[in-house]
Structure 1
Amino acid sequence: MNKKPIVAIMYDFDKTLSPKDMQEYGFISELGMKSEDFWEKSRLNMVNHNMDQILAYMLTMLQEAEGRMLLTRNIFNEMGRNVKLFEGLETWFDRINLYGEKLGLDIEHYIISSGLKEIIQGTEIAHNFKEIYAAEYCYNENNIPIWPAMAVNYTSKTQFLFRINKGVLDVTEHKGLNESTPDNKKRIPFCNMIYIGDGLTDVPCMKLVKINGGHSIAVYHDDRCIADSLISQGRVDFVVSADYRENSEMENTVRTILNQIAALNKVLKLHAKHMKNLLAD
């Protein structure tokens, strides 16, 4: 029995699936801070300590919470419940999965984000993702965050494309990730990938997917200037509003890409059949 082709749809989170940075839905306001003040302190940590940008915001969260707010994994999860999502996402995944099924495709959804995994895990859509790759803390025996376990910046995001490509999804597994793998043994070829993101931090992933035969979509909310610059520079294939409702431009664009992927896979299977017949003669 032939296996269905698998399609990976990969999403950034902040400003791709949600209108604002996730820290702005509870964490910053609970501290009585303004959003711009928090991000400025994070920037200063980055500059003063010559620190990675993601590690800087993770440190700033712990510093600002100390003595003012208890932080645990469960509390981060609870913050996720307050994260506002773009319209249509509550039914988006089921609709796209069903459409893929009609085309003979298996659809898998992944998060690749510089945001905090624990907050994303608390959102109402978290169960739709096969894997959530994002920044994460290490916790002590009291479930208190003590150290970064994972920091995902704009360049390290690309490793997760290769993990998805090869089917090496466990972030602690490196041998299989770095071993040479024939293209026909890779679980999800790049041509079966769709990357959806909103800005410059997504460019390495967008470009990598695009140049390897997949498709990249830049989304925008109010201002489309950044998204338009990405398509004009050849970094993405499409610019689409972050509206995930039924019959939206986003849904129609993804459906069109899935149509192409399904057709290409049929052509490749037909070619393989003809080659097999030729060798049998």
Structure 2
Amino acid sequence: MTGQRPIIAFLYDFDKTLCTTDMQDYAFIPSLGMTPAEFWAEANGFGRRNRIDGILAYMYIMLREAERKNLPFTREDLVEKGRGIELFPGVEDWFSRINAFGEARGVRVEHYVISSGLREIIEGSSISHEFKEIYASEFYYDEAGRPVWPKLAVNFTAKTQFVYRINKGVLDVSDDKTLNDSMPDDSKRVPFHNMIYMGDGLSDVPCMKMMRAYGGQAIAVHQAANRAGVEELLARGRVDYIFPADYREGTGLDETVKNIIRKMAISDRLWEENLRQLRHLGEDVLPDQVGLFSNLNP
């Protein structure tokens, strides 16, 4: 969008990308008297036996097991269980550092979550206020505060719709009409080439492939347990970079992200200068020209 500061959007998976394991593992599953291995085996098995989407299956098992054990299950209770989420090193101050770095280079940085985990639990984390929007699975609650229906279920392929929402600036998940309206490439709020997706594995591949296809950047972070899988993503050309999940200043992840921001900021300035010169000559920028420039913008 011309005449405004360019926006660079960071899109994050959450589990094992910003925090160390599945968010339910920290407090919710132990409250059931189950181990994470027991819970996920039950949820995945239930889904396979009944041919239920895996996200809906785990949401149902959460409800069922809490009811069987007469445990409270309210939105407030789930948010509270998010307080115990353990973040990777450097995540706490990552957002303010990256925002300031972008600001110094004339761009505005925004952060979004696109997760198959639960929005309620993410909201309890110490970093929930850092995100412009949190797209994650969520329950709908009745007047008494009881969960009665899935409000949103974000499976792995469904994640891509939220990339389009961020691209167009149509963040309300109930607004499908505006999302599907035709919109010139140069009027989209966050161009794909100004997006950086950060994930940890196969569940992120659809979004990572979008980034690589449309000019954005895809980064996979890893712990020791999933390093081999992440290396395979790099070898197969599904991500641009891989790093240990260490967000502290001066790490390889931190330095590479800053270089990407530099590159995106320079590309946006060149784009603006190109359009300025064309308009100065009195030439209209035709849609096919804009599309050409978008493809050339790294």
Deviation (angstroms), 1:2: 2.8
2:133 is aligned to 131
Aligned to 2:87: 85
Report the more deviating stretch, 31-40 or 192-201. 31-40
Letter in 2 for 1:39: W
* Residue in 2 that maps onto 1:19: 20
**Which range moves more in the overlay, 100-109 or 62-71?**
62-71
Counterpart of 1:262?
A: 265
Aligned alpha-carbon RMSD (Å): 1.1
Higher mean C-alpha displacement, 195-204 vs 270-279: 270-279
Matched residues in 1 for 2:18 and 2:185: separation? Answer: 31
Q: Which residue of structure 1 lines up, in the alignment, with residue 123 of structure 2?
A: 121
Deviation at residue 48 of structure 1 after TM alignment: 1.6
Letter in 2 for 1:44: G
Structure 2 letter corresponding to 1:125: I
| Matched position secondary structure for 2:73 | coil
The answer to whether structure 1 residue 143 and structure 2 residue 145 are counterparts is yes
- Matches of 1:6 and 1:17 in 2, distance apart? 22
* Aligned with 1:273 (options 253, 272, 276): 276
Q: Distance in 2 between matches of 1:86 and 1:49?
A: 36
Unpaired segments ≥5 residues, structure 1: none
The one-letter code of the counterpart of 1:212 is Y
1:41 aligns to 2:42 (yes or no): yes
The yes-or-no answer on 1:245 pairing with 2:239 is no
Correspondent of 2:234 among 212, 222, 231:
231
Question: SS of 1:218's equivalent?
Answer: strand
Q: Secondary structure at 1:108's aligned position in 2?
A: strand
Cα distance, 1:115 vs structure 2: 0.2
Structure 2 CA distance for aligned equivalents of residues 117 and 277 of structure 1: 48
CA distance in 1, matches of 2:38, 2:148: 23
Q: Deviations over 1:155-200 (max 9, x none)?
A: 0000000000000000000001011111011000000000000010
1:45-194 equivalences in 2 (<5 Å): 45-68=46-69, 69-194=71-196
Deviation at 1:89, TM superposition (A): 1.1
Aligned-partner Cα distance in 1 for 2:191–2:3: 17
* Cα deviation digits, residues 79-98 of structure 1 (max 9, x gap): 11011111111110000000
Q: Which runs of 5+ in 2 are unaligned?
A: 284-298
SS of the residue aligned with 1:279?
coil
Q: Which of structure 1's runs of 4+ aligned residues deviate more than 6 A?
A: none
* TM-score of the aligned structures, taking structure 2 as reference length: 0.92
Q: Distance in 1 between matches of 2:41 and 2:93?
A: 36
Q: Determine helix, strand or coil for the equivalent of 1:62.
A: helix
Bigger mean CA offset, 65-74 vs 189-198? 65-74
Distance 1:181 1:122 in 2: 36
* Cα separation, 1, equivalents of 2:88 and 2:14: 11
The one-letter amino acid of 1:87's match is: P
**Matched residues in 2 for 1:95 and 1:18: separation?**
18
The amino acid across from 2:194 in the alignment is N
More moved, 244-253 vs 194-203: 244-253
Instruction: Tell me how far apart the structure 2 counterparts of residues 78 and 249 of structure 1 sit (CA, whole Å).
Output: 33
CA distance in 1, matches of 2:172, 2:200: 26
Q: Counterpart in 2 of 1:210?
A: 212
User: SS at 2:281's partner residue?
Assistant: helix
Write the letter of the residue equivalent to 2:46: N
1:221 has 2:185 as partner = no
- For residues 205-253 of structure 1, the C-alpha deviation after alignment (integer angstroms, 9 at most, x for no partner) is 0110111000000110113111111111111100011111111111111
Match of 2:292 in 1: none
Kindly provide the amino acid, as one letter, of the partner of residue 20 in structure 1: T
Could you tell me how far 1:152 is from its partner in structure 2?
A: 0.2
